[in-house]
Amino acid sequence: MKAPAKAKPIDDIRSYIAALELNGELHRVTAEVDWKFELCHVSKVNEEQKGPALLYENVKGYDIPVFTSAFTTSRRLAIALEQDPSLSMSQLSKKWMELTTKTMVKPKFVKNPQVKENIIEGDAVDINMFPSPWFYPDDGGRFFVTSGFLVTEDPDTGWTNLGTYRAQVLGKNILGSQIIKGKHGDMHMKKYQERGELMPAAYVVGTDPVLFLAGSTLVSAQVDEYEVAGSLRGKPVEVFKSDLTGLTLPANAEIIAEGWIDPNELMGAGAPSANAPAITPATRARTIPSRCCASRASCIATSR
């Protein structure tokens, strides 16, 4: 079977984009594209036609590119996992199980994480500085996270969870997610609710793709997705301890928005249409007023 073209090891979204381009799996969109409706429509049509991953380099009103269609084919999933691109989904699933049923690899704490190259704090935080797409006209608004994850921590055991919950922009510095009952993030939140405390939380955009993939799969409670990702890579994931919330966060992320969730507070939000422009039901979202936003220099946003 044909091996992928030789690329540097993947440890962040930039090295993944480079690997896709080396393997003919990336198209750079240089024409201006509007973040409102147009970007997502183009991505959806591209996905239906099994097109390449897209890097929008000229998003209207922004100088931050947006990366989409990262995992819409088995070939791109294989490249993300640094496996043979010709492997089928069944074969990739088997390889995943082989790697993740071995010894878990604990993350490595580092100093001076790249994601802290730019820091905005307090009232200066404005989520709208990032080109969050608006998917369909009847959706509730723009979505900051659709291919990222929410980091929370068990206050009793220190277990870190990466939950792939969408995050909608509900205000200048307010993000909202529907954390479904029974999910690991909900388990953590209930513990903070019982303690009468706010829950530290961080939304993460643009990382090593195995972190998103690990966060979107079913793992047992008390299993740390950083360790799952480490087993997939065969090396530790680089992380750092947040000065603000104390959470363990990925050092090579593109963007991180941190704050605290009030377990007793809900706010109205609109759910994104999954496949087509249709009216979506209103939901009640858990909100996180962001008090700190960190990003890499010349950061890259991601979307589904």
pLDDT in the model for residue 303: 94
Residues 6 and 38: their CA atoms lie apart, in Å, by 34
Is the CB of residue 303 less than 8 Å from the CB of residue 39? yes
Give the residue numbers spanning the domain of 26. 13-100
* C-alpha closest to that of 250 among 223, 229, 221: 229
Q: Do 135 and 88 belong together in one domain?
A: no
Q: Considering 53, 77, 100, which residue would you say is the last residue of a domain?
A: 100
pLDDT in the model for residue 47: 94
Per-residue confidence band for 101, with pLDDT thresholds at 50, 70 and 90:
confident
Count of structural domains, the chain: 2
Q: Do 47 and 193 belong together in one domain?
A: no
pLDDT in the model for residue 180: 84
In a domain, 146, yes or no: yes
Q: What is the mean pLDDT of the chain?
A: 90
Q: Do 77 and 125 belong together in one domain?
A: no
Residues 286 and 157: their CA atoms lie apart, in Å, by 23
Residues 157 and 236: their CA atoms lie apart, in Å, by 21
In a domain, 5, yes or no: no
Residues 119 and 117: their CA atoms lie apart, in Å, by 7
* C-alpha closest to that of 164 among 193, 207, 105: 207
Q: Considering 67, 100, 133, which residue would you say is the last residue of a domain?
A: 100
Residues 289 and 292: their CA atoms lie apart, in Å, by 9
Partners of 54 in the β-ladder: 27, 68
* Winning range, highest mean pLDDT, from 7-11, 100-104, 149-153: 149-153
In a domain, 8, yes or no: no
Q: Do 94 and 133 belong together in one domain?
A: no
CATH code for the domain in which residue 185 is found: 2.30.110.10
Q: Name the residue with tokens 């659709």.
A: 146
Total residues belonging to the chain:
304
> Tens digit of pLDDT for each residue in 237-292?
999 999 999 999 999 999 999 999 998 887 765 554 443 322 233 344 566 788 88
Structure tokens at 188: 């953590």
pLDDT in the model for residue 103: 85
pLDDT in the model for residue 37: 96
102 or 242: which carries more pLDDT confidence?
242
In a domain, 1, yes or no: no
Is residue 43 scored above 90 in pLDDT?
Answer: yes
Give the phi and the psi of residue 39 in degrees, each rounded to 5. -55, -45
In the sheet where 248-250 sits, what is the strand order? 108-109, 238-241, 248-250
Q: What is the pTM of this model?
A: 0.90
In a domain, 17, yes or no: yes
| C-alpha distance from residue 163 to each of 104, 148, 157, 199, 216 (Å) | 19, 9, 17, 14, 7
Lowest mean pLDDT, pick from 34-48, 214-228, 240-254? 214-228
Q: Do 116 and 63 belong together in one domain?
A: no
In a domain, 7, yes or no: no
Q: Do 189 and 147 belong together in one domain?
A: yes
- High-pLDDT (> 70) share of the chain, %: 91
Q: Do 208 and 289 belong together in one domain?
A: yes
Q: Do 34 and 145 belong together in one domain?
A: no
Residues 224 and 164: their CA atoms lie apart, in Å, by 14
In a domain, 91, yes or no: yes
Q: Do 36 and 161 belong together in one domain?
A: no
Q: Do 32 and 55 belong together in one domain?
A: yes
Q: Do 220 and 141 belong together in one domain?
A: yes
In a domain, 32, yes or no: yes
Q: Do 96 and 208 belong together in one domain?
A: no
* C-alpha closest to that of 250 among 120, 153, 110: 110
Q: Considering 57, 76, 100, which residue would you say is the last residue of a domain?
A: 100
Q: Which residues contact 274 (CB under 8 A, 6 or more apart)?
A: none
